[in-house]
């Protein structure tokens, strides 16, 4: 544990300054029986997509995306300031997908959302990374950026990977087949979990964790959901987001158990210092920063131990918006409840009034999953349609307008969504056809449609090069 330190970076403000794109969140839905497969997709669109990862660099105001294909290839598009497209070039942004050099057997891909880097887990258990490397986030023993993939050292048994979020975590953590965790990159507040606060340009073992099942990135730190359904967290603790009933400390460089969580089935993180766990009972418990009532317990006081969200007993899943000051939960009934900050109607209840307890989202009765972007949410419905609400200056609601909405509105043309991916000021939908449609902000071509114009309706990501 440590003393209070000068973090050296500034959190993203809650007001709009300059548009960003790319903070990743994903939620999915198996295609229901009898669901429409949508119209015939043109051969020139990107096909055989298994998943999409997006990133955002708040300093350079950029956004890019990478798609994992069923062939094992990875294709990327959008901004390329640091070589994050992985095709051997730098600064040549691409508004259509380009193939990442030398990768033909990837099984997962993730973004370091703050640092303009991507990593892919290979079928061999190795990890290759590309893009920015100022904090050693490529894991190759250097701090030199690379516009082609380089191998993260000594990783041979990786099964999954997550990247740090926009709040000071320029790095990655890999889940190994042994259920241990290795991390590398930025480490100012102990994000690597190895008992130090020294950056590492090669992977280091996270201490004490031997049975990790899922990794979650949060504000300047990480959590692991264990196979025992406990949750362990490490890194920043400015707002109590480590969830420990111990003496207050500004950070922890080793993992510790979140107090009283013994039956978690999922964990959602807020980008500004809060977490919520969905329990096997259907309850939701949250801890950390409580600005605007984001902990959902009827106060705005931070909590360094989990507290029960008022009135929720049948949650299936939960997600935060991109600002991290609102959460929404999907209930077993298909209805939804949201709480916290509500300046653009992101709680979906027909008002712009903050709420420190959950409020019902209007007209949502068939929700299967939810993802959030800056000041807004989209719900994937059991009908394979999508409804969105909240901020809409760049058309991120996908309904053909640029007017924010305090209630859900239907995304145009999509009737066969299987998964949702969110970026700041935009979303993508992975379709049941394994193609991808995107909408919203597009300054660097991150919609992948061959243009750089914002789109307030979904457009198909093209096949590219």
Q: Which regions of 59-141 does DSSP assign to beta strands (E)? A: 62-69, 74-78, 94-99, 106-112, 117-122, 127-131
For residue 167, what pLDDT band results from cuts at 50, 70 and 90? low
Q: Can you tell me the distance from the alpha carbon of 166 to that of 22, in angstroms, rounded to the nearest whole number?
A: 10
What pLDDT was estimated at residue 425? 87
Checking if the pLDDT of 12 tops 70, the result is no
Residues 50 and 42 sit within 8 Å (Cβ to Cβ): no
Interval 136-164 mean pLDDT: 97
What pLDDT was estimated at residue 465? 82
For residue 57, what pLDDT band results from cuts at 50, 70 and 90? low
The DSSP-derived string for 372-409 is EETTEEEEEETTS-EEEEE--TTSTT-SS----EEEEE
For residue 205, what pLDDT band results from cuts at 50, 70 and 90? very high
Interval 319-347 mean pLDDT: 95
| DSSP single-letter state for residue 45 | B
What pLDDT was estimated at residue 166? 57
Interval 263-269 mean pLDDT: 97
Q: Can you tell me the distance from the alpha carbon of 334 to that of 322, in angstroms, rounded to the nearest whole number?
A: 23
Written as six digits, the tokens of 73 are: 């290839």
Q: Which residues contact 15 (CB under 8 A, 6 or more apart)?
A: none
Q: Which residues contact 455 (CB under 8 A, 6 or more apart)?
A: 395, 438, 439, 440, 442, 447, 449
In SS3 terms, 210-265 reads as: CCEEEEEEECCEEEEEECCCCEEEEEECCCCCCCCCCCCCCEEEEEEECCCCCCEE
User: End-to-end alpha-carbon separation of the chain, Å?
Assistant: 49
What pLDDT was estimated at residue 39? 37
Interval 9-21 mean pLDDT: 32
Where exactly are the structural domains of the chain?
281-360
Percent of the chain with pLDDT over 90: 80
Checking if the pLDDT of 336 tops 70, the result is yes
Interval 186-210 mean pLDDT: 97
For residue 438, what pLDDT band results from cuts at 50, 70 and 90? very high
What pLDDT was estimated at residue 114? 66
The DSSP-derived string for 286-312 is EEE--GGGTT-SS----EEEEEEPTT-
What pLDDT was estimated at residue 365? 98
What pLDDT was estimated at residue 1? 37
Place of tokens 């949650």: 315
Interval 191-215 mean pLDDT: 98
Kindly report, residue by residue over 293-320, the tens digit of the pLDDT: 999 999 999 999 999 999 999 999 999 9
Q: Can you tell me the distance from the alpha carbon of 91 to that of 84, in angstroms, rounded to the nearest whole number?
A: 9
Q: Of 44-58, 92-106, 227-241, which range is least confident?
A: 44-58
Q: Which residues contact 48 (CB under 8 A, 6 or more apart)?
A: 69, 70, 71, 434
SS3 313: coil
């Amino acid at each position: 544990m440590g003393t209070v330190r000068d973090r050296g970076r500034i959190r993203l403000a809650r007001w709009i300054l300059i548009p960003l794109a790319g903070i990743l969140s994903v939620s999915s839905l198996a295609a229901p029986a009898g669901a429409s497969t949508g119209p015939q997709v043109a051969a020139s669109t990107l096909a055989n997509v298994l998943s999409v990862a997006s990133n955002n660099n708040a300093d350079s105001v950029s956004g890019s995306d990478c798609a994992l294909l069923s062939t094992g290839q990875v294709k990327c598009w959008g901004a390329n300031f640091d070589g994050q497209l992985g095709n051997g070039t730098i600064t040549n942004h691409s508004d259509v997908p380009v193939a990442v050099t030398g990768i033909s057997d990837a099984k997962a891909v993730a973004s370091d959302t703050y640092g303009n880097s991507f990593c892919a887990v290979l079928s061999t258990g190795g990890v290759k990374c590309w893009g920015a490397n100022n904090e050693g986030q490529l894991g190759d023993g250097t701090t030199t950026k690379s516009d082609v993939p380089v191998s993260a050292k000594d990783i041979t048994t990786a099964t999954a990977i997550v990247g740090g979020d926009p709040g000071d975590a320029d790095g990655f953590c890999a889940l190994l087949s042994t259920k241990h965790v290795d991390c590398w990159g930025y480490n100012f507040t102990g994000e690597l979990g190895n008992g130090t606060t020294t950056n590492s340009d090669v992977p280091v073992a996270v201490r004490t964790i031997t049975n990790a099942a899922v990794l979650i990135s949060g504000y300047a730190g990480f959590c692991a959901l264990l196979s025992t359904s406990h949750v362990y967290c490490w890194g920043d603790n400015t707002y109590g987001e480590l969830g420990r009933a111990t003496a207050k400390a500004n950070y922890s460089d080793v993992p510790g158990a979140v107090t009283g969580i013994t039956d978690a089935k999922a964990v959602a993180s807020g980008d500004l210092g809060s977490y919520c766990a969905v329990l096997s009972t259907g309850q939701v418990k949250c801890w950390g920063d409580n600005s605007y009532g984001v902990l959902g317990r009827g106060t705005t006081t931070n909590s360094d131990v989990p507290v029960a969200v008022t009135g929720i007993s049948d949650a299936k899943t939960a997600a935060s918006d991109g600002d991290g000051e609102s959460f929404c939960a999907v209930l077993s009934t298909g209805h939804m409840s949201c709480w916290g900050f509500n300046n653009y109607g992101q709680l979906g209840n027909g008002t712009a009034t903050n709420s420190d307890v959950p409020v019902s989202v209007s007209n949502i009765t068939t929700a299967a999953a939810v993802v959030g972007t800056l000041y807004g949410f989209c719900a994937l419905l059991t009908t394979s349609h999508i409804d969105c609400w909240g901020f809409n200056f760049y058309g991120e609601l996908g309904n053909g307008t640029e007017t924010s909405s305090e209630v859900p509105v239907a995304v145009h043309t999509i009737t066969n969504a299987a998964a949702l991916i969110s970026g700041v000021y935009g979303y993508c939908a992975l379709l049941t056809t394994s193609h991808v449609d995107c909408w919203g902000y597009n300054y660097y071509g991150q919609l992948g449609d061959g243009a750089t114009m914002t789109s307030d309706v979904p457009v198909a990501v093209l096949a590219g090069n």
